[in-house]
Every structure is written in C-alpha cells, then in structure tokens.
Amino acid sequence: MRGGRPADARIGEPTDVELLQRMRLEDESALEALYARYGGLVFTLALRIVGDPELAREVMQDTFLRAWDGRETYDPGRGRVPWWLMGIARNRAIDLLRSRPHQARLREQEKPPSDAHRVATVDPGAADALALRRAVTQALAGLPESQREAVELAYYRGLTQAEIARHLGQPLGTIKSRTRDAMERLRTLLEPLIETGGSEPRRD
C-alpha cells in the first residue's frame, strides 16, 4: 500500500497518484478506478467501526465524495493515497459513532471478537495482496492480547490513550507503552512489505 498502486494492481494500470491527477482534471472515471481499488477496504474499515452496513455505506460514500471534493488538497508528502482515504473514512466513521452514543453503547455491549484471528474471506486475487493481508493478519495475531486490544480501541473505537486507560482501568503509562510496543512490533514485521507495496516497484 505504500507504493503508488495497491498491492493487487496490475502492471500498466495507473498509479494512485496518477488517478488523483486525473481527478483534478475533473475525470470522474479516475474516481471510479480509485473506488474499485479501495472501496472494499474503506467499506470494511467503516463497517468495523460503525458496526452497521447501512451506516458503513454512508461513511464509504461520504469518504469518496470528500476525496473528490478534496482532490486538490491531497498532499503526497503527507502519506500515500490509501492512507489518506483510510484517514477520511476513519474520521468520518468515528464522528458518526460519537454523534450516536446510543449506537456506540449497543456496540460496546456486543463486544465484537478481536478481528486479528479472522482470516480474510475476500481475496482480490493477486498473490502480493494476499501476502500483505496474510502478513497483517499474522502480525496482529502475534501480538499479546493486551497490546492488540490497545491498538483496536484506539484505531477502531477512536479512543484517546487516556480514554483507553479509563476504559480498561489501567494506568495511562501502561496503555502508552502497550500501544508503542504493538506499533513497534507491527512496524518491524510489516514495514518491508508496506515499503515496497507488495512485490511491485514504487511508481509515484
């Protein structure tokens, strides 16, 4: 994902940055290509956060509309296109979650099982995409439960470190070091794959 194309893009297809450049020229088909590339991932992330397919669809639609409206503001220096999209989607989903506390409470009662052990059920087909997915799944599964929990509460529930400490009844320093240790371990395991965007060279 660090590369200009997603791990499952084929040789000869435009990079993400090229798609953004075409979007700036009002080329709607470039947005469609971006959607084809990342729609599934954005929807999956939104669904994990808001827990309701209808709301997740709302978040995903809003994410791509915001990407269209904000196509001039995307700055490659601040991260790759999918990071940007995931950032928009996550913020939107967390906002939605916070604006509907009743729904958030219901989700809390459900206590969804940790996702780290799940196996990806939809395979886009490309071997390197599968490799990255497998690596992420394995890396998360390899984390101690307490570290994985800290990461998930932060990323999917949108809680600050202090809120996580309160939620778990743990000292703030403990939560901070769990988060740091988890991210450091994930970085060590995943950075080589993220760096090269799977097995394909960076083009942007």
Partner 1 sequence: MTDEHSVEALAAYALGSLDPSERASVDAHVAACDACAARLRAYQGVAATLPLGLAQAPPPPEAWGVISATVRARRARRRIEAKASPLVAWLRFAKWPAVAVALSALLVWNVALQRELVRRAPGPAPGPEVEALSRRPGRVVIFRGTGKPEASARLFVAVDGGGHLAVSGLGQLPRERTYQLWFVRTGSSAMSGATFGVDRYGHAWVKVAVPRSLDDVQAIVVTEEPAPQGSAPTGRHLLDALPWR
Q: How far is the CB of 127 from partner 1 (least distance, A)?
A: 15
Q: How far is the CB of 24 from partner 1 (least distance, A)?
A: 13
Give the Cα separation of 35 and 17 in Å (integer): 14
Residue 91: which of 53, 62, 133, 57 has the closest Cα? 62
Give the Cα separation of 128 and 125 in Å (integer): 9
Task: Please report, as ranges, the residues that interact with partner 1 according to CB under 8 A.
Answer: 1-2, 26, 28, 31-32, 35, 39-45, 47-48, 53, 56-57, 60-61, 64-65, 68-69, 79-80, 82-83, 86-87, 90-91, 94, 115-116, 118-122, 132-133, 136-137, 139-140, 151, 154-155, 158-162, 164, 176-177, 179-180, 182-184, 186-187, 190-191, 194-195
Residue 107: which of 62, 156, 60, 148 has the closest Cα? 156
Q: How far is the CB of 174 from partner 1 (least distance, A)?
A: 11
Q: How far is the CB of 11 from partner 1 (least distance, A)?
A: 21
Decide whether 12 or 136 has the Cβ nearer to partner 1. 136
Decide whether 1 or 12 has the Cβ nearer to partner 1. 1
Residue 62: which of 23, 88, 29, 95 has the closest Cα? 88
Q: Which two tokens stand for residue 21?
A: 């450049």
Length of the chain: 204
